[in-house]
Structure 1
Amino acid sequence: MLKLRFSSFDLECGTDEAGRGCLAGPVTAAAIILPPDFQINTLNDSKQLSEKTRDQLRPLLEEQAISHSVTHIEPDIIDSINILNASIKAMQESILQLNPAPLYIIVDGNRFKPIHGIPHTTIVKGDSKYMSIAAASVLAKTYRDDYMNRIHEEYPMYNWKKNKGYPTKEHREAIRKYGTTKYHRMSFRLLPEQLALDF
């Protein structure tokens, strides 16, 4: 059973990211503040939910939230500051867009950098423990999937509509055959033998 709050603050936000391990596309984060009377029984860590359930949950979460925000950090930024810093930046930017601003932040994972002096706690597997982090994971995942579906139309040969940019065998074979795009993360090991790629 997910808990609603970690702290004693009503304006507590949860934040999470999606797409950290992908070879292409942005890393996407969401932040959300849920009301004290929030209750959606089907909410869970986005990885435990079907795509259909996530898509059904998103409008419900947005409707009930006190505030929510989503941020994409593009591959060129990921390549310049590394994926960990890009993930943290995406979460920070999402939090800064919340109105009202949160008084406490709970973060999925074990790494975060404080912003504006707002107290925070990192929680390993937080998306399976707290509602706001689970809600943020659903928003981040669905908005990133939408993004990958859009750029799939531009480069259908990589089948991002299905693999969402993750390092599947099919995706890597397409990189081997067609090379890279502006959406690929050039700092990542795109192929098992990196020298096979001609940059």
Structure 2
Amino acid sequence: MNLFECGIDEAGRGCIAGSMFVVGVVGDFKTLESLGVRDSKALSSKRRNALALKLLDSQEVFYYVYKASATDIDTKGLSACLKEALGEIKVYFSLTIDIKTFVFDGNCNYGVEGIKTLVKGDSLHPCIKAASILAKYYKDEESKFLDRCYPRYKLAKNKGYVTKEHVMLIKTYGLTKAHRTSYKIKSLEE
């Protein structure tokens, strides 16, 4: 098996509730493609979960998950959390598998030296595709858990993103410990 690159993606960056998950994945491109990896946004929830479980169970796919809680994001800031995540992933794979090439989905590496960027990487790069699937899987699983903790907010449905219904529920019931208090939501200020 040839392991050359680590693909990195995140889920939950734009949420107002819950954590952000940043995942790095290392795996042979052919192996990942044979598992059926695709851009997570192009998959149904059922198919994405099935693929995530295959990736997690594979002996040929290596991954690292960074979780920034709502409190982490409020305290450190989103950019600082992304920078920390990229740094941790780089150190982890540099030390464990001796990976030299890291590619992050998007156009910004948050100042982390040695991290390349690839716009639309989650639809172009097999390792980033796998990372997008795992990041979304972890975000969805957390959203289901938070929904059980705070059922009024329908977090399993809105995944913590700003929707009209979610904003209405916040207006009605207030913020929870799972909400990012540093985020300014214009529709709440009216």
TM over 0.5, shorter chain: yes
Amino acid corresponding to residue 155 of structure 2 in structure 1: W
2 CA distance for matches of 1:97 and 1:156? 36
Q: Give matches, 1:150-161, under 5 Å.
A: 150-161=145-156
Amino acid corresponding to residue 179 of structure 1 in structure 2: G
Give the equivalent residue in structure 2 for 1:21.
Answer: 14
Q: Which deviates the most, 138-147 or 54-63? A: 54-63
2:66 alignment partner, one of 63, 71, 74: 71
Q: CA deviation at 1:81?
A: 2.6
Is 2:35–2:51's contact at 8 Å kept on the other side of the alignment? no
2 CA distance for matches of 1:145 and 1:90? 19
Q: Give matches, 1:61-100, under 5 Å.
A: 61-62=55-56, 63-98=58-93, 99-100=96-97
Give the equivalent residue in structure 2 for 1:4.
Answer: none
1 CA distance for matches of 2:147 and 2:80? 26
Q: Which deviates the most, 76-85 or 102-111? A: 76-85
Q: CA deviation at 1:191?
A: 4.9
Is 1:69–1:95's contact at 8 Å kept on the other side of the alignment? no
Q: 1:101 to 1:74 in 2, by over 3 A?
A: farther
Is 1:95–1:101's contact at 8 Å kept on the other side of the alignment? no
Give the equivalent residue in structure 2 for 1:6.
Answer: none
3-state SS of the aligned residue for 1:30?
strand
Give the equivalent residue in structure 1 for 2:135.
Answer: 140
Amino acid corresponding to residue 45 of structure 1 in structure 2: D
Q: Give matches, 1:50-129, under 5 Å.
A: 50-62=44-56, 63-98=58-93, 99-113=96-110, 119-129=114-124
1 CA distance for matches of 2:82 and 2:160? 16
Q: CA deviation at 1:138?
A: 0.4
Percentage of pairs with the same residue: 35
- Give structure 1 stretches of 5+ with no counterpart: 1-8
Q: CA deviation at 1:59?
A: 2.2
Q: 1:177 to 1:105 in 2, by over 3 A?
A: same
Q: Which deviates the most, 47-56 or 91-100? A: 91-100
Is 1:27–1:90's contact at 8 Å kept on the other side of the alignment? no
- Give structure 2 stretches of 5+ with no counterpart: none
TM-score by length of 1: 0.84
Is 2:167–2:188's contact at 8 Å kept on the other side of the alignment? no
Aligned-pair Cα RMSD in Å = 2.0
Count the aligned residue pairs.
185
Q: CA deviation at 1:113?
A: 4.0
Q: CA deviation at 1:76?
A: 1.6
